[in-house]
Amino acid sequence: MPDRSYVMITVIFNDKKEGPLYEQLYMHIRHMIEGGSLKAGEKLPSKRAFSSHLQVSQVTVENAYNQLKAEGYINAVEKKGYYVQQVEFIPKIKSKVEWEVKHEIQSPNDVKFDLKTNTVDTSNFPFSVWTRLMRECLNNEGDSLLKPVHPQGDIELRNVIAKYLQEFRNMNVSAEQIVLGAGSEYLLGLITEMLPNHAFAVEDPGYYKTSRILQSRKVNMYSIPMDKEGMCIDELKNTPATVVQVTPSHHFPLGTIMSINRRRQLLQWASQSDERYIIEDDYDSEYRFVLKPIPTLQSLDHNDKVIYLNTFAKTLAPSLRIGYMVLPKKLLLHYREQLMFYSCTVSEFEQRTLRAFIQSGYYERHLNRMRKIYKNRRDAFLEGLMPLSHMISISGEDAGMHLLLQVNNGMSEAQLIESAKNKGVGVYALSDYYIKKIPDTKTVVVGYASFTPSELKKIASLLVEAWK
């Protein structure tokens, strides 16, 4: 007898306007879960039955289910099927107008192949296009390039960024909310000035410069542990922190994607006080190799509690110091009243060149090209590590430009690093990214962005020799 324990769902697809079929199906089911018409514990149709009913391929259904699973809306039970997860919702609120930071992580000396995580592939930067746009900018803009820049940055570039965020990250923002600056580190410092006397919480492990910046600003900080769903919100609640900085779409260095429930819990925490805010660092979210990018916290926020940060350093080049933040409306008023005396830290020349690069469609094409290049590099590296498959666990490989290797060969982190160094390869201990001391994880962090596939296969073979 066929399984009738589920309710069949009917979806009307729009082939032309609403994206790929799997994305339309994913959005339809997601809205049903968020709207309450699909409740926790309810079983979803099997891939075969659902695809037959909708007259689409099983791959379409599978991709939609995988996206829902990645975001925590559903879970898969082996040999039973897919079930709706319990999802917490956030009520709208009425808007109203100890430890010592460790030294920064050092690159190993005397290695031929340094697998550091702060590099990108510059060999595929579109120099000819960028140079042409710079010349056109000089010829067409003239002496206007020499005039003072608006403190928030060029309004036309801000309009272009707002449109990009609306189209690709589903964020309802205006150019008025965007502030441009010389990278996310500078902007984080600006945020601390907007929120004086606030205690900040940071992810542990996390990006070491975040804690260094906050320490240099004499900010009270609290480190919050992570689990497989993201930051532990119960631990956050036990601190007096009123501002929390997170990387929910692709955590650094763990590669964790914050689950939809954890995102809602975090937004719920922020909504409980007028003083609370979330800083969402969405760095390298564009480089997701499996399915579509994860929705931002800002796009889920109904209470104007999220400060969104991003930068073009990872997608274009680290030396292109152009970052931006999207401010909640209440903080935008505070910024304009208190901090507009700061000059914009990005030259008008670079801003207008970048604006033309995005407007002309070159940025989107560059992202698509680089996504394929980085995926090929990742695949080559993982293929080269296959001889160690019986002793290594790989995580964080579905997005970004780095991954984690937990090596179960009896070596400590220090021994793994030293043996790799002896073969000319620089890798990094995961434990060095923690603020609070933890036991040896036997895990190393490796970046692969700046090496070709053939180089990465060579590097992998050297690691096999070092760790086998």
* Sequential pLDDT tens for the chain (468 residues): 445 577 788 887 876 556 788 888 998 999 888 888 888 889 999 999 999 999 899 999 999 999 998 888 999 998 889 999 987 766 655 544 444 545 455 555 578 999 999 888 989 999 999 999 999 998 888 788 888 889 999 999 999 999 999 988 889 999 999 999 999 999 999 999 999 999 999 999 999 899 999 999 999 999 999 999 999 999 999 999 999 999 998 899 998 889 989 999 999 999 999 999 999 999 877 777 666 667 899 999 999 999 999 999 888 988 888 999 999 999 999 999 999 999 999 999 999 999 999 999 999 999 999 999 999 999 999 999 999 999 999 998 887 889 999 999 999 999 999 999 999 999 999 999 999 888 889 999 999 999 999 999 999 999 999 999
Nearest to 357 by CA among 136, 97, 133, 24: 133
428 and 338 housed in the same domain: no
**Is residue 329 within 8 Å of residue 307, measured between CB atoms?**
no
Tell me the CATH number at 259: 3.40.640.10
Task: Measure the CA–CA gap between 372 and 287, rounded to whole angstroms.
Answer: 9
- Look up the CATH number of the domain holding residue 417: 3.90.1150.10
* Residue 8 belongs to some domain of the structure: no
Q: Are residues 442 and 408 in the same domain?
A: yes
Q: Which value, in Å, is the radius of gyration of the alpha carbons in the chain? A: 23
Question: Cα 95 to the chain's mean position, in Å?
Answer: 28
Question: Does residue 445 lie in a domain region?
Answer: yes
- Among the listed residues 277, 315, 278, 313, the one whose alpha carbon sits nearest the alpha carbon of residue 293: 315
Q: Is residue 341 part of a domain?
A: yes
Is 258 within a domain? yes
With a CB cutoff of 8 Å and minimum separation 6, the contacts of 87 are 33, 34, 40, 72, 73, 260, 261, 264
Helix (H) or strand (E) holding 308: strand 306-311
| 326 plus 384 within the same structural domain | no
| Cβ proximity of 54 and 61 under 8 Å | yes
List Cβ neighbours of 116 (8 Å cut-off, separation of 6 or more): 107, 426, 428, 447
CB 118 within 8 A of CB 104: no
Q: Cα 116 vs. chain centroid, distance in angstroms?
A: 18
Percent helix, strand and coil across the chain, each to the nearest 5: 40, 15, 45
Report the DSSP beta bridge partners of residue 413: none
User: Are 335 and 413 in the same domain?
Assistant: no
Token look-up 């096999």 returns 464
Calpha distance 250→269 (Å, rounded): 21
Query: What is the number of domains present in the chain?
Result: 3
Give pLDDT, residue 96.
45
Q: Are residues 195 and 290 located together in one domain of the fold?
A: yes
Residues 327, 418: one domain? no
- Residue 88 carries which side chain, given as an amino acid letter? E
Tokens of 242: 């009123």
Instruction: Give residue 99's pLDDT.
Output: 46
* Maximal CA-CA distance, the chain: 78
Total-model pTM:
0.81
Residue 7 lies in a domain: no
What is the pLDDT, as a whole number, of residue 35?
Answer: 83
Over 262-283, what HEC string results?
HHHHHHHHHHCCCCCEEEEECC
Residues 203 and 281 both lie in one domain: yes
Domain that holds residue 281: 127-362
Dihedrals phi, psi of 259, to nearest 5 degrees: -65, 160
170 in Cβ contact with 300 (< 8 Å): no
Model pLDDT, residue 350: 94
Residue among 132, 186, 124, 133 nearest 354 (CA): 133
- My answer on whether 335 and 390 are in the same domain is no
Residues 28 and 41 in one domain: yes
In a domain, 107, yes or no: no
- In this prediction, residue 78 carries a pLDDT of 86
Domain boundary among 329, 362, 395: 362
Query: What pairing do the DSSP bridges indicate for beta strands 392-395 and 428-429?
Result: unpaired
CB atoms within 10 A of CB 336: 14
Considering the domain architecture, whether residues 43 and 180 belong to the same structural domain is answered as no
Residue 301 identity: D
